[in-house]
Each structure stands twice: as C-alpha cells, then as structure tokens.
A and B are shown apart, each in its own frame.
Chain A
C-alpha cells in the first residue's frame, strides 16, 4: 500500500534560516504529492502540490519538487519567519488499487521559528 515518511521533528530554527523538511513516499501508482500546513488549533491548509514527476510546487516562498527517481518531495524555504511556525504534513493521493484519491499522510513535522 501507499505510505509517506517524513522527517521527524521538532525542528527549531531562527528567523531567516533555511528550512528543509524531508519527505519520501511509497506508492503503487503515479501519485500526486502535497504539503499541508496546520497552525495551532486549526485544520489543514493546502500549502503546495505537484501532480507529476519533475513538477515543482510553490507557494508563500515554500517549494517542493516531485522527484520520481528518489521518490521524494522535500519541502524547502529560503528564509523562514516566526509566522511559519506550524506542523507540516507531507501527503500523497492516487487512484491505484481503488484508492480513489484518498490522502495518505506522514506523521507531521513541528516547526518552531524563533525571532
């Protein structure tokens, strides 16, 4: 079945530092890949996505590139802000095996950015 493994946190950075959160996946089909962000006490917000190999998703200064050869979708940001403090989830969805686009999530990575 499908699975997502992401870097375990917590990750603590200073403002303006570079961020990388690693994510690798296992899928039987050709999945779409997502990063969702969850701020304290809130639901999930879609941060970015990529639907095929070599696609780069980007939003709010965050980027991730769909690497089929390494089955990875690492999240990066060049300069983090205090407001980026949240939990980040890597996820995939596909239609293989009747999964019908259900999302499979990683366990999440807590990011704390200090001023």
Chain B
C-alpha cells in the first residue's frame, strides 16, 4: 500500500522565483492538504483540496496556490519567493468518505525541503 509521496525531496531557489511542489496521496484517499513547517516549529495549515477545488485555506497570502488533479494528486505553487518561505512543505491525505475513525485522520508524506536564497 503506497503511502503519501512528494517530489522533489529538496529544492533551492532564489528570491522572486516561483516553485511547484508535487504530492500523490495515499492509495484510496481523495483529500489533500498542504502544511508549511518552519524550522523548530509545528506545521501550519496552508490549504485543503477535495474534488479538485480548494475547500479551506489557512492564513497564507495569495502567492500560495494549489491544484488538485482528477487522480487526486496535488501541486503547491509559490510565486515571488521570499526568504521566509524557506521551510519543509508537507502534504497530507485522508479519505473523506472514510468511517468516523478514518475520515478525520491525515497521513503525511516525507516533505519537500525548500531553501530560498
């Protein structure tokens, strides 16, 4: 059973550039969320996608955008990169139609480490 996968593992960009991160959810999952984890901090919710639409958004600027594809995979795009965008970006998936024990349980990928110079 394949878990959540993310690519690339590491990425180095310069200020002002744009970046795209990719995520494939756990098999059978239909909902994908993205989180930003700054060094030494807990993850912060960016947004959540279900049925190819953004369903909920955290306190992040419009420079952060996303997409979900028909196969449930997802992309996170960040424009006009700032030094403060350097972080580990985590993708999590869950099964919206799962029973009460599973529909609220998210499983995380290994993350993409983004460094902005």
A62 within 8 A of B: no
Q: Do A102 and B45 form a contact, CB below 8 Å, given A49-B105, A51-B100, A51-B101? A: yes
- The proximity string for B residues 68-101 relative to A, scoring 1 for CB distances below 8 Å and 0 otherwise, is 0000000000000000000010101010000011
Q: Once bound together, how far apart are the Cα atoms of A105 and B6, in whole Å?
A: 21
Partner of A43, one of B42, B94, B111: B111
- Report the count of interface residues on B (CB-CB < 8 A): 29
B108 touching A93, Cβ below 8 Å: no
- Report the count of interface residues on A (CB-CB < 8 A): 27
A103 touching B41, Cβ below 8 Å: no
Q: List the B residue with the shortest CB-CB distance to A110.
A: B40
Point out the residues of chain A lying under 8 angstroms from B108, CB to CB: 36, 43-46
